[in-house]
Amino acid sequence: DQQVKQNSPSLSVQEGRISILNCDYTNSMFDYFLWYKKYPAEGPTFLISISSIKDKNEDGRFTVFLNKSAKHLSLHIVPSQPGDSAVYFCAAPEGFQKLVFGTGTRLLVSP
Amino acid sequence: DAGITQSPRYKITETGRQVTLMCHQTWSHSYMFWYRQDLGHGLRLIYYSAAADITDKGEVPDGYVVSRSKTENFPLTLESATRSQTSVYFCASRMAGNSGNTIYFGEGSWLTVV
Protein backbone atom coordinates (compact mmCIF):
# COMPACT_ATOMS: atom_id res chain seq x y z
CA ASP A 1 0.00 0.00 0.00
CA GLN A 2 1.47 3.32 -1.09
CA GLN A 3 1.89 5.48 2.00
CA VAL A 4 3.06 8.51 0.01
CA LYS A 5 1.14 9.30 -3.14
CA GLN A 6 1.73 11.67 -5.99
CA ASN A 7 -1.35 11.44 -8.12
CA SER A 8 -0.13 13.61 -10.98
CA PRO A 9 2.49 11.77 -13.01
CA SER A 10 3.28 14.88 -15.03
CA LEU A 11 2.87 18.64 -15.05
CA SER A 12 3.58 21.19 -17.77
CA VAL A 13 4.11 24.86 -16.95
CA GLN A 14 5.33 27.89 -18.84
CA GLU A 15 8.49 29.63 -17.78
CA GLY A 16 7.84 32.33 -15.20
CA ARG A 17 4.61 30.82 -13.96
CA ILE A 18 4.02 28.90 -10.74
CA SER A 19 4.48 25.13 -10.57
CA ILE A 20 2.51 23.29 -7.89
CA LEU A 21 3.37 19.68 -7.19
CA ASN A 22 1.14 17.76 -4.83
CA CYS A 23 1.70 14.88 -2.46
CA ASP A 24 -0.70 13.00 -0.19
CA TYR A 25 0.16 10.62 2.61
CA THR A 26 -1.81 8.07 4.57
CA ASN A 27 0.32 7.50 7.66
CA SER A 28 -0.62 10.01 10.35
CA MET A 29 2.60 9.14 12.20
CA PHE A 30 4.70 10.85 9.55
CA ASP A 31 6.12 14.03 11.07
CA TYR A 32 8.73 15.10 8.54
CA PHE A 33 8.63 15.38 4.78
CA LEU A 34 11.22 15.87 2.09
CA TRP A 35 11.25 16.69 -1.59
CA TYR A 36 13.86 15.28 -3.92
CA LYS A 37 14.55 16.35 -7.48
CA LYS A 38 15.86 14.05 -10.17
CA TYR A 39 17.32 14.91 -13.55
CA PRO A 40 17.61 12.23 -16.27
CA ALA A 41 20.62 9.93 -15.89
CA GLU A 42 21.36 11.31 -12.42
CA GLY A 43 20.50 10.28 -8.90
CA PRO A 44 17.87 12.18 -6.91
CA THR A 45 19.08 15.14 -4.89
CA PHE A 46 17.56 16.70 -1.80
CA LEU A 47 15.58 19.88 -2.44
CA ILE A 48 13.64 21.01 0.61
CA SER A 49 12.02 19.59 3.72
CA ILE A 50 9.37 20.46 6.28
CA SER A 51 8.67 19.37 9.81
CA SER A 52 5.13 18.75 10.97
CA ILE A 53 5.46 21.52 13.53
CA LYS A 54 5.43 23.97 10.62
CA ASP A 55 2.94 24.53 7.86
CA LYS A 56 5.33 26.27 5.51
CA ASN A 57 9.02 26.22 4.67
CA GLU A 58 10.62 28.45 2.09
CA ASP A 59 13.98 28.29 0.32
CA GLY A 60 14.39 30.79 -2.48
CA ARG A 61 11.98 29.96 -5.27
CA PHE A 62 10.84 26.78 -3.54
CA THR A 63 8.16 26.66 -0.85
CA VAL A 64 6.63 23.58 0.69
CA PHE A 65 3.25 23.76 2.38
CA LEU A 66 1.93 21.16 4.78
CA ASN A 67 -1.72 20.59 5.66
CA LYS A 68 -1.69 17.97 8.39
CA SER A 69 -5.44 17.67 8.74
CA ALA A 70 -5.71 16.83 5.04
CA LYS A 71 -2.51 14.77 5.04
CA HIS A 72 -1.38 16.80 2.09
CA LEU A 73 1.73 18.70 1.13
CA SER A 74 2.61 20.71 -1.89
CA LEU A 75 5.74 22.12 -3.45
CA HIS A 76 5.48 25.53 -5.09
CA ILE A 77 8.12 26.77 -7.50
CA VAL A 78 7.91 30.46 -8.30
CA PRO A 79 8.92 31.53 -10.87
CA SER A 80 9.41 28.28 -12.74
CA GLN A 81 12.48 28.01 -14.95
CA PRO A 82 13.34 25.54 -17.72
CA GLY A 83 16.13 24.19 -15.53
CA ASP A 84 13.48 23.07 -13.05
CA SER A 85 12.32 20.43 -15.52
CA ALA A 86 12.87 17.17 -13.65
CA VAL A 87 11.07 14.47 -11.73
CA TYR A 88 10.11 15.48 -8.20
CA PHE A 89 9.63 12.94 -5.44
CA CYS A 90 8.10 13.59 -2.06
CA ALA A 91 9.25 11.36 0.77
CA ALA A 92 8.65 10.71 4.44
CA PRO A 93 10.67 8.86 7.10
CA GLU A 94 9.14 5.56 8.08
CA GLY A 95 10.32 4.63 11.51
CA PHE A 96 13.84 5.53 12.48
CA GLN A 97 15.68 4.18 9.51
CA LYS A 98 13.96 4.38 6.15
CA LEU A 99 12.54 6.90 3.73
CA VAL A 100 9.38 6.12 1.82
CA PHE A 101 9.08 7.82 -1.56
CA GLY A 102 6.13 8.73 -3.70
CA THR A 103 5.83 7.75 -7.35
CA GLY A 104 7.13 11.08 -8.62
CA THR A 105 5.81 13.91 -10.78
CA ARG A 106 7.58 14.87 -13.98
CA LEU A 107 7.68 18.65 -14.34
CA LEU A 108 8.26 20.21 -17.73
CA VAL A 109 8.86 23.96 -17.83
CA SER A 110 8.70 25.32 -21.34
CA PRO A 111 10.34 28.60 -22.41
CA ASP B 1 35.31 14.36 -2.87
CA ALA B 2 34.17 11.18 -4.66
CA GLY B 3 30.91 10.81 -2.70
CA ILE B 4 28.95 7.78 -3.69
CA THR B 5 29.76 5.80 -6.81
CA GLN B 6 28.00 2.93 -8.50
CA SER B 7 29.29 0.40 -11.00
CA PRO B 8 28.56 -0.66 -13.59
CA ARG B 9 26.49 2.26 -14.80
CA TYR B 10 24.96 0.19 -17.59
CA LYS B 11 24.57 -3.56 -17.79
CA ILE B 12 22.74 -5.98 -20.06
CA THR B 13 22.46 -9.53 -18.82
CA GLU B 14 20.55 -12.66 -19.62
CA THR B 15 17.76 -14.24 -17.63
CA GLY B 16 19.13 -16.57 -14.99
CA ARG B 17 22.55 -14.95 -14.74
CA GLN B 18 23.94 -13.62 -11.50
CA VAL B 19 24.64 -9.90 -11.49
CA THR B 20 26.29 -7.75 -8.84
CA LEU B 21 25.90 -4.02 -8.66
CA MET B 22 28.60 -2.28 -6.68
CA CYS B 23 28.25 0.75 -4.45
CA HIS B 24 31.03 2.63 -2.73
CA GLN B 25 30.82 5.74 -0.54
CA THR B 26 33.65 7.86 0.81
CA TRP B 27 31.79 9.69 3.57
CA SER B 28 31.84 6.88 6.17
CA HIS B 29 28.07 7.15 6.35
CA SER B 30 26.48 4.59 8.64
CA TYR B 31 23.41 3.95 6.54
CA MET B 32 23.34 2.65 2.99
CA PHE B 33 20.36 1.84 0.82
CA TRP B 34 19.42 0.25 -2.45
CA TYR B 35 16.39 1.58 -4.32
CA ARG B 36 14.96 0.70 -7.68
CA GLN B 37 13.09 3.16 -9.84
CA ASP B 38 10.29 1.97 -12.08
CA LEU B 39 7.64 3.86 -14.00
CA GLY B 40 4.50 4.13 -11.91
CA HIS B 41 6.23 2.94 -8.76
CA GLY B 42 8.68 5.69 -7.99
CA LEU B 43 11.58 4.74 -5.78
CA ARG B 44 11.17 1.50 -3.88
CA LEU B 45 13.52 0.33 -1.19
CA ILE B 46 15.12 -3.06 -1.78
CA TYR B 47 17.52 -3.42 1.14
CA TYR B 48 19.22 -1.16 3.60
CA SER B 49 22.04 -1.34 6.08
CA ALA B 50 22.48 0.55 9.32
CA ALA B 51 26.16 -0.39 9.73
CA ALA B 52 28.70 -2.97 8.64
CA ASP B 53 27.31 -6.49 8.98
CA ILE B 54 23.79 -5.18 9.65
CA THR B 55 21.30 -5.40 6.79
CA ASP B 56 17.54 -5.47 6.57
CA LYS B 57 14.85 -5.93 3.97
CA GLY B 58 13.00 -3.08 2.40
CA GLU B 59 9.80 -3.08 0.41
CA VAL B 60 10.87 -5.30 -2.52
CA PRO B 61 13.72 -7.62 -1.40
CA ASP B 62 12.78 -10.82 -3.24
CA GLY B 63 15.42 -11.98 -5.71
CA TYR B 64 18.14 -9.77 -4.24
CA VAL B 65 20.98 -10.35 -1.81
CA VAL B 66 23.15 -7.75 -0.08
CA SER B 67 26.19 -7.76 2.11
CA ARG B 68 28.12 -5.12 4.00
CA SER B 69 31.45 -6.37 5.21
CA LYS B 70 32.92 -2.85 5.10
CA THR B 71 31.25 0.44 5.95
CA GLU B 72 32.04 1.95 2.57
CA ASN B 73 30.73 -0.84 0.33
CA PHE B 74 27.23 -2.18 -0.17
CA PRO B 75 26.97 -4.54 -3.15
CA LEU B 76 23.61 -5.71 -4.45
CA THR B 77 23.43 -9.14 -6.06
CA LEU B 78 20.70 -10.51 -8.26
CA GLU B 79 21.17 -14.23 -7.79
CA SER B 80 19.23 -15.29 -10.89
CA ALA B 81 18.16 -12.28 -12.90
CA THR B 82 14.61 -12.05 -14.22
CA ARG B 83 13.10 -9.66 -16.75
CA SER B 84 11.08 -8.04 -13.97
CA GLN B 85 14.37 -6.90 -12.47
CA THR B 86 15.04 -4.68 -15.45
CA SER B 87 15.21 -1.30 -13.76
CA VAL B 88 17.34 1.60 -12.67
CA TYR B 89 19.05 0.91 -9.37
CA PHE B 90 20.15 3.66 -7.02
CA CYS B 91 22.48 3.26 -4.12
CA ALA B 92 22.26 5.87 -1.38
CA SER B 93 23.79 6.69 1.96
CA ARG B 94 23.26 8.96 4.94
CA MET B 95 24.73 9.75 8.30
CA ALA B 96 23.64 8.03 11.47
CA GLY B 97 20.67 9.58 13.21
CA ASN B 98 17.04 9.77 12.35
CA SER B 99 15.65 8.83 8.97
CA GLY B 100 14.91 12.46 8.13
CA ASN B 101 18.59 13.11 7.59
CA THR B 102 19.40 13.83 3.98
CA ILE B 103 20.02 10.80 1.81
CA TYR B 104 22.67 11.11 -0.89
CA PHE B 105 22.17 9.08 -4.02
CA GLY B 106 24.58 7.64 -6.52
CA GLU B 107 24.07 8.24 -10.22
CA GLY B 108 22.29 4.97 -10.82
CA SER B 109 22.91 1.65 -12.52
CA TRP B 110 20.77 0.84 -15.56
CA LEU B 111 20.16 -2.90 -15.72
CA THR B 112 18.45 -4.67 -18.59
CA VAL B 113 17.63 -8.36 -18.29
CA VAL B 114 16.93 -10.03 -21.64
Distance CA A9, CA B23 (A): 29
Which residues, listed in sequence order, are joined to residue A110 by a DSSP beta bridge?
A14
pLDDT digits (tens, 9 = 90+) for B66-90: 999 999 999 999 999 999 999 999 9
Give the closest-approach CA distance of A82 to chain B in angstroms.
22
Using an 8 Å Cβ cutoff, are B77 and B65 in contact? Answer: yes
Percent of chain B at pLDDT > 70 equals 96
Which segment of A105-109, B25-29, B80-84, B96-100 scores lowest on mean pLDDT? Answer: B96-100
How confident is chain A (111 residues) per 10-residue block, as mean pLDDT? 89 98 93 94 94 94 96 97 97 86 96 93
Q: Which chain A residues are closer than 8 Å to B35 by Cβ?
A: 101
Burial class (CB in 10 A: 0-12, 13-18, 19+), B19: buried
Interchain CB contact of B48 with A (< 8 Å):
yes
Measure Cα distances from A51 to A31, A56, A68, A108 in Å. Answer: 6, 9, 11, 28
Query: Rg of chain B's alpha carbons, rounded to an integer?
Result: 13
pLDDT over 80 at B1, yes or no: no
| Closest C-alpha among A24, A98, A20 to residue B59 | A98
- Neighbouring CB atoms inside 10 A of A103's CB total 23
